[in-house]
Structure 1
Amino acid sequence: MAFSSLIYKTCGALAAAMLCGIAALILTQIFLRAIGHQIPSADDFAAWALCASIFLALPSTLMSGGHIRVTSLRNLIKGPFGRVMDITASLIALAMLAWGSVALASFVWDSYRYNDVSHGLVAVPLWIPQITMVIGSALFSLAFAERVIRLVLHLPTETSNIAPESTEV
């Protein structure tokens, strides 16, 4: 599972790179507008980069424990019943994510098959920016499958590298 961790971290780094790309695009657009020019379809590129950053960040965020989850109930329910509840919830999430990944793949395949292009000044085949949604959601499904396996094998589900905060004054 070390290989999957590397994949998740790489996706997280790509997501961060997309956010940096958005910032660079906006700053360049501001500068170019000040001198009377602009980047064609800059808003499209920024939107696609934002979508990529969201979907690519999902698996690494799950594995590092960064997703917002309702943990109060899980913390109250200890022992085997709590573990079974956690496994059941993860299996339900996995089923929904797998379904969503297949639906997204079908959507992107249709964009490719029908040669859909963007409506902006720069005609980009839509399957190219859309493929990041499929990759991110498929890896998110894989991360949930790994979570279920870890829960069944009594392994830690989160691999956070953040050191706990000191409570000393």
Structure 2
Amino acid sequence: MTNEQPDRPIPQYDRSTNEQDRFLDHCQRNQILITVYLDSGRALQGKIVDHDRKCILLGATRQEKIPKLIPKSYVSLVRAEEILPLFLEYKGRGNYITRKKARKAKQKAAKATQPKERKTRQVNEPMILKSPKAPGKPQTPVEVVMKKAPRSRSTVPKTKPSPPSDS
């Protein structure tokens, strides 16, 4: 993602955008000096000239030097030399998991302050059902009584089988 129009307004980003591209765009737009650490341990300093999905074009600190093309697969760390105001809107908000835990704790506290209403019904208590209205007939309630059925016992014999005989 390159920015060919530097004077256009900066769009508002949400967290679903690629943070790496956002960081590199900001460093490129504002000509921020960065240090790129490679997997080999070597550190390169410069300003970002351009970047894409697979590589970074790192310009040298002096004008007469040629920019270096660095594949992103070789990069282990990119660090800006100054503090960037880029991600300050996220500061203190945490990530998705911490926000979800806080939301659940808030809901749990709200439930704890409400009085609990439990609707219980005895098993042998009659339940009255109303039949659907039929035209021309008065509606009469129907009483249904539900009783607990005893559990059926398994029919496994309690005697042990006799050992096989040697005949």
Q: TM-score, normalised by structure 2?
A: 0.20
User: Larger RCO: Structure 1 or Structure 2 (Cα < 8 Å, ≥ 6 residues apart)?
Assistant: 1
Q: TM-score, normalised by structure 1?
A: 0.19
Asked which structure has the greater CA Rg, the reply is 2
| Bigger fraction of residues in helix | 1
| Bigger fraction of residues in strand | 2
